Copies of this chain bind each other. A is one copy, B any other.
Amino acid sequence: MPLSVAPKKRHPRPGRPKDPAKREAIFEAAKKLFPEHGYDGVSMDAIAAEAGVSKLTLYSHFKDKDELFLIAVEAVCKQQLPPEVFELGPDRSCIREVLLRAGRRFIDLVAGENTIQVYRMLAARAPNNSELSDIFFEVGPRLTIKPLENFLREADKSGLLDVPDPVQSAEHLSSLFKGAWHTRRIIGCSGQLSPEEMDAHVRSVVDLFVRAHEPRYPSAGQSSQ
């Protein structure tokens, strides 16, 4: 059961209601600062200052630093992926073109600054918050791969590709798109991919993938066994 941002009001209205705007300001500050500097790099004072509230107000809305970190990261993960942005178009005439477009979008998403920051945060606290990493993986990478999987499944049915295991192939394709650069970005290596290099990489991946999955007997849509 994922945590929620909404405060739980046990008593209908015992006194003056807490200011939702302040809670939101704290929440926004956490979502901004934690990805930038990591768990240990952000103090509760810094969050309070960024939000423009006092530290006690902060503690009145959130139990402790861990809780705030948890819901902040979770929120960043969820707002990370607008799932429809990655739905592959209905154009399946040219399989390579569709995969090329998909690859560019995929890389833009998983190698974007926001995504990389989430990975870094989670890596830093890996020994502590394995549940948080699990959540991230479900709402992040898992959902990102899904459109690839669906596409491959349909490509297999229509005979454009030979994909007996769409789940596994989608994961392979995802790994190929990420390549070595994804990990390099996470650990903060200096060099960056130029747009030309990125394009060459995507082409290379699509070449390899299509070559591995193109039907062996082009005239036959499906082969028995």
Using Cβ atoms and an 8 Å threshold, which residues of chain B touch A20? none
Q: Please tell me if the beta carbons of B205 and A126 are within 8 angstroms of each other in the complex.
A: no
Using Cβ atoms and an 8 Å threshold, which residues of chain B touch A205? 172
Q: Which residue on B lies nearest to A122, using beta carbons?
A: B187
Does A136 belong to the interface (CB within 8 Å)?
yes
Pick the contact of A189 from B133, B178, B208, B209 — CB < 8 Å?
B133
Pick the contact of A131 from B165, B168, B190, B213 — CB < 8 Å?
B190
Does A186 belong to the interface (CB within 8 Å)?
yes
Q: How far is the CA of A191 from the CA of B131 in the complex (A)?
A: 10
Mask for A84-128, Cβ within 8 A of B = 1, else 0? 000000000000000000000000000000000001101111110
Q: List 30 A-B contacts (CB under 8 A).
A: A37-B127, A40-B40, A40-B124, A119-B123, A119-B183, A119-B187, A120-B124, A122-B187, A125-B188, A126-B187, A127-B188, A130-B188, A130-B190, A133-B188, A134-B189, A134-B190, A134-B191, A137-B189, A141-B180, A141-B183, A165-B204, A171-B179, A171-B180, A172-B205, A175-B175, A176-B176, A182-B183, A183-B183, A183-B186, A212-B212
Q: A130-B190, A141-B180 are in contact. List 15 more A-B contacts (CB 8 A).
A: A40-B40, A119-B183, A123-B123, A123-B186, A133-B189, A134-B191, A169-B208, A172-B176, A172-B204, A174-B180, A175-B178, A175-B180, A178-B183, A182-B183, A183-B183
